[in-house]
Amino acid sequence: MSESSNANSSAQQLIQPSVNQSIALAVQSAVDLMRNLNTIETTVIGVASASWLANPEMTAYKDIIENATKTITFAVDNLAKVGTVGEGVLTDLKPD
């Protein structure tokens, strides 16, 4: 192995734990966001559904439910994107 190759390998070993931790934190933040939004939006959906059943002529509740569902979908998609990007970073840093 050349001296340059040893230096690259050594540098990679030094940064790998920090990269792993950063990716883990990013994924955990995305999970927290999804959980928090899911809690809020399912409550919104429940209240809007109950209100709509009590007042069927108030179709505005349908929009509220649809918007809450879109927010939940956003959080799920965000988690998937963060996971995919994190996987890509880890794959790119994988030692040869």
Q: Is the pLDDT confidence value at 11 over 90?
A: no
Q: Is the pLDDT confidence value at 4 over 70?
A: no
For residue 5, the model assigns a pLDDT of: 65
Residue pair 93/16 in contact (Cβ under 8 Å)? The answer is: yes
- Closest listed residue to residue 36, CA positions, set 70, 75, 66, 63: 75
Helix residue ranges, H only, the chain: 3-54, 60-92
Residue pair 90/23 in contact (Cβ under 8 Å)? The answer is: yes
How does pLDDT run across 15-65, given as a tens digit for each residue?
Answer: 889 999 999 999 999 999 999 999 999 999 999 999 999 999 999 999 999
Confidence of residue 75 (pLDDT cuts 50, 70, 90): very high
Kindly list the domain boundaries of the chain, sorted by start residue.
3-92
Contacts of 32 (CB under 8 A, 6+ apart): none
Confidence of residue 7 (pLDDT cuts 50, 70, 90): low
